[in-house]
């Protein structure tokens, strides 16, 4: 695990300062973090706010702001370098959790080491975990939830399930897409538990208690500042008017035009040409590059064949992939990988598990496995050289 941390810091922690300069999204977060680090207040003047107002209608979730503020305060580093290095910590934590997940699912050390390496060499992970934005901050909570769920399925303990719910509840505060994503994952947890044969109320009550506990902070905040709901959770989750009039909210949800647009955005997210080759959109941190390396497209299906041997785990993994773009599609932006970044470790985890069955087959299949693994650092090297200044 120490090697994983070292490799992460080496690959992700260098060349963080300008160029390129901070993007507008990075600038907004850094400005709030600097204000908190120096005064304990956001730029709006509120003391230790739960949400941070960037402009009239744009707000930030708290997790990235406070994490960055704490790092800047402790290290006294420059805004550009320090704010980006603060996000690199997310890559370190995510890589370690990937190691634990792969080890639990495969039981093999070399697979457990391969999975985080594949994650670190994934373009979508690389660009977002080196930027001072909140995009990757949902990953530790998502991966922590998945690990706790797998631990519970292997050895049922109610406190583990409560921790899984607690981690999901905390993850609600990580980024704009997180409220819908974490709530959907909570529903997925119930499906997984039911499929695994758990019918008693104690397990479900423990999970629900863990999930709702962090949300109490939000309830207190909105009770004190009700005017902030419209541009925070009103935009990220449930519109304020739809809370007052649920029937109108249901009509808006099933509106044919809106539903068609969101469905189109959702399915476009799974376009293989964009995921593994390159997309027509040249904007964003990827600058038109594919989120995944091409070998992942071959390895991931082999991982699916391996994980189906554990039905409950398969439902959690495949269900997580299905859920990831749901929230992103509500933002009305095609190929919004920044708001669906939880899909990245899942695809990579399946790819890591897919390496093992290749090496259990004939010589030709083993040769294919070696070629695919060799292509990963080669293609990443091309991406690294061509995309970074």
**Does a structural domain hold residue 62?**
no
Q: Give the predicted TM-score (pTM) of the model.
A: 0.91
Q: Read off the pLDDT of residues 21-76 as tens digits, 9 standing for 90 and up.
A: 788 899 999 999 999 999 989 898 888 899 999 987 889 999 999 999 999 988 87
> Residue 81's pLDDT is what?
81
> pLDDT of 150-200, one tens digit each?
999 999 999 999 999 999 999 999 999 999 999 999 999 999 999 998 888
**Percent share of the chain, pLDDT over 70:** 87
Closest CA to 338 of 141, 133, 189, 142: 133
165 in any annotated domain:
yes
Name the residue range of residue 200's domain.
108-387
Domain-embedded: residue 118: yes
23 is a domain residue: no
Count: domains in the chain: 1
Residue 89 in any domain: the answer is no
226 within a domain of the structure (yes/no): yes
The per-residue pLDDT for 279 is 59
Q: What is the structure's pLDDT at 257?
A: 66
pLDDT on residue 49: 94
Quick check: is 37 in a domain? no
**What pLDDT is attached to residue 241?**
58
Is 99 within the bounds of a domain? Answer: no
Instruction: Give yes or no for residue 253 having a pLDDT over 60.
Output: no
């Amino acid at each position: 695990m120490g090697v994983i941390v070292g490799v992460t810091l080496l690959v992700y922690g260098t060349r963080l300062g300008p160029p390129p300069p901070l993007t507008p999204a990075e600038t907004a977060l850094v400005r709030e973090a600097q204000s908190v680090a120096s005064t304990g207040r956001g730029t709006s003047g509120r003391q230790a706010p739960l949400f941070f107002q960037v402009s009239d209608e744009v707000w930030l979730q708290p997790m990235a702001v406070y994490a960055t503020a704490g790092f800047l305060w402790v290290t006294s580093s420059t805004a550009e370098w320090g704010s980006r290095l603060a996000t690199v910590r997310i890559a370190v934590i995510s890589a370690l959790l990937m190691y634990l997940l792969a080890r639990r699912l495969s039981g093999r050390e070399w697979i457990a080491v391969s999975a985080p390496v594949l994650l670190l060499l994934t373009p979508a992970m690389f660009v977002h975990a080196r930027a001072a934005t909140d995009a990757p901050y949902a990953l530790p909570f998502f991966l922590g939830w998945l690990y706790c769920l797998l631990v519970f399925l292997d050895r049922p303990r109610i406190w583990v399930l409560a921790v899984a719910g607690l981690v999901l509840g905390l993850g609600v505060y990580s980024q704009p897409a997180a409220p819908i994503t974490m709530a959907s994952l909570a529903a997925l947890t119930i499906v997984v538990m039911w499929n695994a044969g758990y019918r008693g109320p104690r397990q479900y009550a423990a999970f629900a208690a863990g999930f709702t506990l962090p949300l109490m902070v939000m309830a207190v905040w909105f009770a004190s500042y009700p005017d902030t709901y419209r541009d925070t959770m009103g935009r990220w989750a449930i519109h304020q008017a739809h809370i007052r009039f649920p029937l109108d909210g249901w009509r808006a949800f099933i509106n044919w035009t809106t539903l068609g647009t969101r469905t189109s955005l959702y399915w476009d997210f799974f376009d293989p040409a964009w995921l593994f080759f390159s997309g027509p959109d040249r904007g964003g941190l990827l600058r038109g590059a594919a989120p995944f390396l091409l070998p992942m497209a071959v390895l991931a299906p082999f991982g699916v064949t391996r994980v189906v041997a554990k039905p409950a785990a398969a439902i959690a993994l495949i269900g997580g992939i299905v859920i990831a773009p749901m929230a992103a599609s509500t933002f009305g932006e095609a190929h919004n990988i920044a708001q669906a970044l939880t899909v990245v470790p899942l695809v990579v985890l399946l790819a890591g598990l897919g390496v093992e069955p290749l090496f259990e087959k004939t010589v030709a299949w083993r040769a294919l496995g070696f070629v695919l693994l060799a292509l990963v650092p080669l293609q990443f090297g091309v991406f690294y050289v061509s995309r970074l200044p």
